[in-house]
Chains A and B, each alone.
Chain A
């Protein structure tokens, strides 16, 4: 595997379910990001991890819980979601989280909350 991978690619869940999204980067990077892409809205940064430490939480509701066990893996744990949380969730990574650095994106997980 190369680049940034995300699983699953598609997910349908009820509002009472608990599920997790997984992201893995094979680029040797140290910073990882979660973004939410909703229809007709700009991409919204959710969380940033740098060297496994959370450095940014963009006022995300607590029903989204990130986890970064190491620099290569990032999870987003989901519970009691709302229909408005349906979106494409994108993971990205960069070398060290610097402002000039290119972020490399995964293909995303398409989430539908019923």
Chain B
């Protein structure tokens, strides 16, 4: 069965600092991986996704993630944090076995950006 683990439920960075949010997955088949962001009182918005093309995926708002098969990781990074990046971030893997578009989400990481 596929699963996702996000290391660190809370991450705090200073404005302008590097953002690193960690995601490890477990999958018996080549995975499709997603990062979503949720701002307060809103639904989830796609940041980026990996679908077996380039291993370095660029997303919106300056975020990117690198798929590392050997480490079963898909960590999200941004070189310089902005106050507006404060939100909750979710890593998800598509359940290829179900073939219904089912997403399996991690627990989420709350990003705090300090001025």
8 smallest beta-carbon distances between A and B, as pairs: A105-B43, A97-B101, A99-B94, A43-B105, A105-B44, A42-B105, A56-B100, A55-B100
CB–CB B101/A94 < 8 A: yes
Interface string of A79-95 (1 = CB under 8 A from B): 00000000000101010
Bound: A6/B104 CA distance, A = 22
CB–CB A100/B44 < 8 A: no
B87 within 8 A of A: no
CB–CB B102/A48 < 8 A: yes
A31: which B residues are within 8 A, CB to CB?
101
A66 within 8 A of B: no
Interface string of B13-44 (1 = CB under 8 A from A): 00000000000000000001010100001111
Question: How many pairs of A and B residues are in contact by the CB < 8 Å rule?
Answer: 68
CB–CB B42/A107 < 8 A: yes
What total of chain A residues lie within 8 Å of the partner, measured CB to CB? 29
B77 within 8 A of A: no
Question: Among the listed A6, A43, A99, which residue makes an inter-chain contact with B101, where contact means beta carbons less than 8 Å apart?
Answer: A99
B99: which A residues are within 8 A, CB to CB?
99
A102 within 8 A of B: yes
Bound: A94/B101 CA distance, A = 8
Question: Among the listed B41, B94, B107, which residue makes an inter-chain contact with A42, where contact means beta carbons less than 8 Å apart?
Answer: B107
Chain B min CB distance to A9 (Å): 8
**Residue in chain B with minimal CB distance to A32:** B101
- Beyond A43-B90, A99-B32, whether A106 also contacts B100 by CB under 8 A is no
